[in-house]
Amino acid sequence: MPYITVGKENSGNIDLYYEDQGAGKPVVLIHGWPLSGASWEKQVSALLGAGHRVITYDRRGFGKSSQPSEGYNYDTLAEDLHKLVTKLDLHEFALVGFSMGGGEVARYLGAYGTEHVSKAVFISSIPPFLLKASDNPEGVDRAVFEGIEKAIVADRPAFLAQFLRDFYNVDILGGKLISDQVVQLSWNIGAGASPKGTLDCVSSWLTDFRKDLARIDVPTLVIHGDADRILPLAATGKRTPEFVKGSKLVVVEGGPHGILWTHAEKVNCELLAFLGQSERGSKVA
């Protein structure tokens, strides 16, 4: 299995697990919390079938990657991503982020620019700025995140079970667009993640990505469900085009947070159509 070493903690390396499959234009897929690169199952097969080179990886602390005690902030996570694309010598690659992974896309482009990036995609993503503030009234109260942190500390496995029910809107879509087995698989992956990393990521969700988004000058696609209970459309995806000039917003009707699975056909159709474009956007300040 391929790994890249992105740092050290005491006597051990911090290694990220990744998969690099296919040929053609590279697409880097960045997963959400608390899952792993395996969550892209339905997208990987579609992208490979369309002739793309597909790279997935597990964020530090999650999936098959190392579980260090530190580094769960977006500056470090974007640096991890930069080390991966540098090792693989990627050029004209697309960055696709789901949920928390959208933050890596935004911070990577804000910190490292778009020189070798052809396109950006945000799916059910966390930008532009989740925390309610005087200049961000559309955000979410800090107390909500403090409650999440307390619930994780109290009983992480139980919290994850409830979180995933809302992740997939199981009460409405269960037995139709999502099976009990897929929810269980997601729980298994999330429960196997670093307890500290799982907790520390919550504070990273409050990162302000507005300046990062304003630096994006490549074609950008935003896909978000209008029934997302985890990252409500009005606070996230609907606002991203305000900061990324010329970006396209696709709203998935009835889509929960976990549209990668429940609405994979719609997501894949939009993703493949978008990745077929080649023009770059105009530079914005």
Active site residues: 99, 228, 257
**DSSP secondary structure of 182-225:** HHHHHHHHHHTS-HHHHHHHHHHTT-B-HHHHHT--S-EEEEEE
Q: What's the Cα-to-Cα distance from 278 to each of 3, 32, 119, 189, 246, rounded to whole Å?
A: 31, 27, 8, 35, 14
d(CA 61, CA 190): 10
45 backbone dihedrals φ, ψ, rounded to 5°: -65, -40
In 3D, which of 97, 100, 163, 164 has the Cα closest to residue 126?
Answer: 100
- Torsion sign (Cα): 112, 274, 233, 33: negative
Q: Strand 248-252 to strand 26-30: parallel, antiparallel, or no bridges (unpaired)?
A: unpaired
Measured CA to CA, the distance from residue 130 to residue 199 in angstroms comes to 17
Question: Which residue in 84, 117, 119 sits closest to 6, CA to CA?
Answer: 84
- Dist. CA 270–CA 110, nearest whole Å: 25
> Closest Cα to residue 90, out of 57, 128, 125?
57
Compute how many other C-beta atoms are within 10 angstroms of the C-beta atom of residue 169. Answer: 22
